[in-house]
């Protein structure tokens, strides 16, 4: 299979883990990178073996050898540059969320449908065996009927000048870590009679940053009567990225479901026994890039496609509104 030819928008720190390492492991080519700071782009290319540097994001999109782009820009730049990449005929692997709000995510979804290109939102955890096993336990009835899902995504605060605190750049706890917790709730839709609906949400603003959520908790309900609880914060004492699913006959717990390469345990407890399964520490980003490549090369289905991204963004917006806040503003380029 021909190596996927990737262009990287920006020189974000996450790119090393999320695209550079997986590209090396899967044989993909890192054709080009562009960043606002030319020196930073040159340094990134030299460090990571990227073939060439472009002077601007648009110049990268115009490169005919680039067939797919990875978009790790600040949240507020996801939507605009995803739209530009699709208009340029490029397949898109975008960091989450795919857009600043549901209206913009709908624009992206419509552009994907009209283009026929592959679009994947980078909820990488969804492609790893840890999450697949949690879903399998429910699907096969090993835990009985689904009753409750708890997703926790909390972390200590980033620096005050971090873009994740910027309202114009679509920042906030929900947009950075909470989106994982909400998306993971939606992953149980096939086993709960349909998608979860928001029951209530509560949030707190970051001091001196009106409109920017420091934390948000939400309660959900599935059509079959199962409940969901979401806890997210960017002002916690310690990191906790966990998922617990409870059924009528037992429960399963993944202590670090979004970063299974750090901890690949799935702890299963039933009335009869408790056991620990290890599902492998191969990175979730590598599984993700393999899935993306398979979609581009072979037309394989995409789990976190543009329709899924829109549904998640609608739930994020609903949480903001229910908590008395406003959805994130779109960024005009």
Tell which residue, 315, 140, 319, has the closest CA to residue 217.
319
* Alpha-carbon gap, residue 147 to 196, rounded angstroms: 12
On whether the CB atoms of residues 57 and 78 are closer than 8 A, the answer is no
Structure tokens at 45: 């290319």
Verify whether residue 96 is a known catalytic residue: yes
* Catalytic choice (84, 90, 96, 244): 96
- Domains observed in the chain: 5-123+287-304 (3.40.50.720), 125-280+315-323 (3.30.360.10)
How would you class 290 by CB atoms within 10 Å of its CB: exposed for 0-12, middle for 13-18, buried for 19 or more? middle
Residue 48's H or E segment, with its range, is helix 38-48
* Alpha-carbon gap, residue 39 to 37, rounded angstroms: 6
With a CB cutoff of 8 Å and minimum separation 6, the contacts of 116 are none
Backbone angles phi, psi at 275, to 5 degrees: -145, 160
Give pLDDT, residue 1. Answer: 81
From first to last of the 333 residues of the chain, give the pLDDT tens digit: 899 999 999 999 899 999 999 999 999 999 999 999 999 999 999 999 999 999 999 999 999 999 999 999 999 999 999 999 999 999 999 999 999 999 999 999 999 999 999 999 999 999 999 999 999 999 999 999 999 999 999 999 999 999 999 999 999 999 999 999 999 999 999 999 999 999 999 999 999 999 999 999 999 999 999 999 999 999 999 999 999 999 999 999 999 999 999 999 999 999 899 999 999 999 999 999 999 999 999 999 999 999 999 999 999 999 999 999 999 999 988
- Centre a 10 Å sphere on the Cβ of residue 269 and count the other Cβ atoms it contains: 14
Tell which residue, 17, 12, 26, 8, has the closest CA to residue 289.
26
* Alpha-carbon gap, residue 67 to 54, rounded angstroms: 15
Tell which residue, 82, 211, 190, 86, has the closest CA to residue 134.
190
Backbone angles phi, psi at 116, to 5 degrees: 75, 10
């Amino acid at each position: 299979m021909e190596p996927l030819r990737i262009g990287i928008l920006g020189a974000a720190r996450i790119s090393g883990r999320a695209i550079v390492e997986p590209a090396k492991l899967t044989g993909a080519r890192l054709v080009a990178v562009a960043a606002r700071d030319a020196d930073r782009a040159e340094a990134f290319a030299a460090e990571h073996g990227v073939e060439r540097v472009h002077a601007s994001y648009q110049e990268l999109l115009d490169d005919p050898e680039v067939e797919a782009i990875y978009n790790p820009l600040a949240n507020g730049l996801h939507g605009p540059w995803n739209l530009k990449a699709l208009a340029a005929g490029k397949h898109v692997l975008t960091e989450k969320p795919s857009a600043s709000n549901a209206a913009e995510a709908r624009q992206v979804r419509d552009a994907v449908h009209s283009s026929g290109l592959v679009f994947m939102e980078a909820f990488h955890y969804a492609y790893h065996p840890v999450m697949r096993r949690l879903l399998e336990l429910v699907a096969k009835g090993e835990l009985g009927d689904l009753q409750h899902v708890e997703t926790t995504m909390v972390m200590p605060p980033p620096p005050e000048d971090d873009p994740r605190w910027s309202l114009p750049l679509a920042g906030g706890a929900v947009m950075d870590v909470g989106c994982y917790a909400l998306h993971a709730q939606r992953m149980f839709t096939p086993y709960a009679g349909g998608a979860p609906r928001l029951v209530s949400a509560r949030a707190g603003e970051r001091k001196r940053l009106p409109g920017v959520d420091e934390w948000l908790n939400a309660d959900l309900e599935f059509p079959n009567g199962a409940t969901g609880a979401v806890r997210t914060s960017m002002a916690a004492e310690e990191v906790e990225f966990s998922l617990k699913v409870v059924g009528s006959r037992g429960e399963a717990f993944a202590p670090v479901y979004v970063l299974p390469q750090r901890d690949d345990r799935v702890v299963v407890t039933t009335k009869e026994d408790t056991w620990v399964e290890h599902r492998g520490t191969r990175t979730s980003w590598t599984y993700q890039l393999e899935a993306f490549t398979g979609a581009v090369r072979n037309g394989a289905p995409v789990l976190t496609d543009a329709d899924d991204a829109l549904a998640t963004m609608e739930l994020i917006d609903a949480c903001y509104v229910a908590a008395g806040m406003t959805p994130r503003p779109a960024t005009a380029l």
